[in-house]
Structure 1
Amino acid sequence: MELIVYLAGQIHDDWREQFRQKAKERGLPLILKGPQENHDRSDDIGEQIKGKQPNPVYRDQAASEFNNLRTRIWMEKADVVIALFGEKYRQWNTAMDAATAIQSGKPLILVRPEGLVHPLKELAQRAQVVVETPDQALDALAYVLE
Structure 2
Amino acid sequence: MQWTVYLSGEIHSDWRQQIEQGAEAHGLPVKFTSPITNHEASDAAGDVLGSEQDNFWRDHKSAKVNAIRIQTLIKNCDIAIIRFGDKYKQWNAAFDAGFCAALGKPYITLHDEAIIHPLKEVDAAAMAWARTPEQVIEVLKNIISV
The TM-score, its normalising length taken from structure 2, stands at 0.92
**Alpha-carbon deviations, 1:50-90, whole Å to 9, x = none?**
12223322211111111111110000001001111111101
- 3-state DSSP of counterpart to 2:117: coil
Aligned to 2:144: 145
Indicate if the aligned counterparts of 1:35 and 1:70 stay in contact, CA closer than 8 A. yes
Aligned to 1:31: 31
Following the alignment from structure 1 to structure 2, what is the Cα–Cα distance between the partners of residues 120 and 16?
20
Following the alignment from structure 2 to structure 1, what is the Cα–Cα distance between the partners of residues 42 and 14?
16
Q: CA deviation at 1:18?
A: 2.4
Q: CA deviation at 1:28?
A: 1.2
- 3-state DSSP of counterpart to 2:124: helix
Moved more, 113-122 or 97-106: 113-122
**Alpha-carbon deviations, 1:115-143, whole Å to 9, x = none?**
11111122222211111112211110111
> Unaligned stretches of 5+ in structure 2?
none
Identity %: 37
Which runs of 4 or more aligned residues in structure 1 lie more than 4 Å from their structure 2 counterparts after TM superposition?
none
Following the alignment from structure 1 to structure 2, what is the Cα–Cα distance between the partners of residues 11 and 119?
19
The TM-score, its normalising length taken from structure 1, stands at 0.92
Moved more, 38-47 or 71-80: 38-47
Aligned residues: 145
Does 1:132 pair with 2:131?
yes
Moved more, 54-63 or 27-36: 54-63
Indicate if the aligned counterparts of 2:19 and 2:136 stay in contact, CA closer than 8 A. no
Does 1:6 pair with 2:6?
yes
Following the alignment from structure 2 to structure 1, what is the Cα–Cα distance between the partners of residues 26 and 121?
32
Q: What's the C-alpha RMSD, in Å, of the aligned pairs?
A: 1.3
- 3-state DSSP of counterpart to 2:44: helix
Following the alignment from structure 1 to structure 2, what is the Cα–Cα distance between the partners of residues 62 and 124?
30
Does 1:16 pair with 2:16?
yes
Moved more, 22-31 or 99-108: 22-31
